[in-house]
Structure 1
Amino acid sequence: MKVKAIATTATLLIGLGIGLVSTSSSANAATWHRGTPKALRGNWRDSTHKVWFHIRKSEIDMYNSYTPGGKFGQGYNRLKYKYVGHHTYKFKMFDMKYQHYTTDTWRYVTHNRLYHGGMFYRY
C-alpha cells in the first residue's frame, strides 16, 4: 500500500513538473499607451528650417513651409504609442485634416535629436 502511494505521488509530481516546463508564457510587454513619451515632447525642426513639429502630451502639430504661399499646419490627436525597442516608438494617431487614423514611427536619438524620415533637432 505504501509503495502504491509513493508511486502515485511520484507520477503526479512528474506530470506536474512536465506540465510546468512545457507551458510557456508569451507576454507581449509592448502595450499601447495614451499620449506621447516624455522624451519626445517639445519643439523639433529639420536642418533646413522648413518643417517643424510641436509635440505635446495629447497632440502633435506639424508645420511645413515647402508649400507655395507659406506655412500650413496639420494636427494629430487621439495619440497612442508603443515602445518597439532601440528608442523607437510606434504611434497611432488621428489626422485632424484628413479625418482618419494613421500610424507612424519615431526614433529618439539623443536629447536634442529625433529621427522621423530625416533628422530633427530640438529648438
Structure 2
Amino acid sequence: MKTRILTATATLALGLEIGLAYTPSTHAATWHRGTPKALRGNWRDSTHKVWFHIRKSEIDMYKSYTPGGKFGQGYNRLKYKYVGHHTYKFKMFDMKYRHYTTDTWRYVNHNLLYHGGLFYRY
C-alpha cells in the first residue's frame, strides 16, 4: 500500500514537472498599425498602367487604362499582420466606397512586390 502511494506521488510529481517545463513557442500574429517598412515606396506594374504609392498610413492606387484618364483610389486606417513567407495581410478603409476591405501582399525582394501580379519599385 505504501509503495503504491509513493509510486503515484512520484508519477504525479514527474508529470507536473514536465507540464510546467513545456512552454509553447508559437504566438498568434498581431495586427500592427500602418505599413511594413519593406513595402513603403512607389510601385508600378510592367505595363506602366497601374501605380501604388505606399506610405506609412496610406496607400494610393492609380490606373491609367480607365476611360477619362487616371483613376485614383485611396486607402487609409491601415492595419497589417505578417502571415509568413514575406506575406502581409492588410485591413484597410477604402476612401472611395467607404468600407473596410482586406488584401494580401507578398514582398519578393527589394525591387519586386506581388499583389495579383508583379509590381516593380521605381
TM-score bucket (shorter structure): 0.7 to 0.9
Please state if 1:61 is matched with 2:40.
no
- Counting only pairs closer than 5 Å after superposition, residues 13-24 of structure 1 correspond to structure 2 as 13-17=13-17, 20=19
Structure 1: 5+ residue stretches without partners: none
Structure 2: 5+ residue stretches without partners: none
Which of structure 1's runs of 4+ aligned residues deviate more than 2 A?
5-12, 23-29
Moved more, 94-103 or 9-18: 9-18
Partner of 2:114: 115
Deviations 1:29-58 (A, max 9, x none): 311100000000000000000000000000
The TM-score normalised by the length of structure 1 is: 0.85
C-alpha distance in 2 between matches for 1:7 and 1:84: 47
- Counting only pairs closer than 5 Å after superposition, residues 25-36 of structure 1 correspond to structure 2 as 25=24, 27-36=26-35
Deviations 1:82-114 (A, max 9, x none): 101110000000000000000000000110000
Please state if 1:94 is matched with 2:93.
yes
Partner of 1:48: 47
Secondary structure at the counterpart of residue 13 of structure 2 = helix
C-alpha distance in 1 between matches for 2:41 and 2:54: 5
Aligned residue pairs total 120
Secondary structure at the counterpart of residue 10 of structure 2 = helix
Secondary structure at the counterpart of residue 100 of structure 2 = strand
Q: Which amino acid aligns with 1:45?
A: R
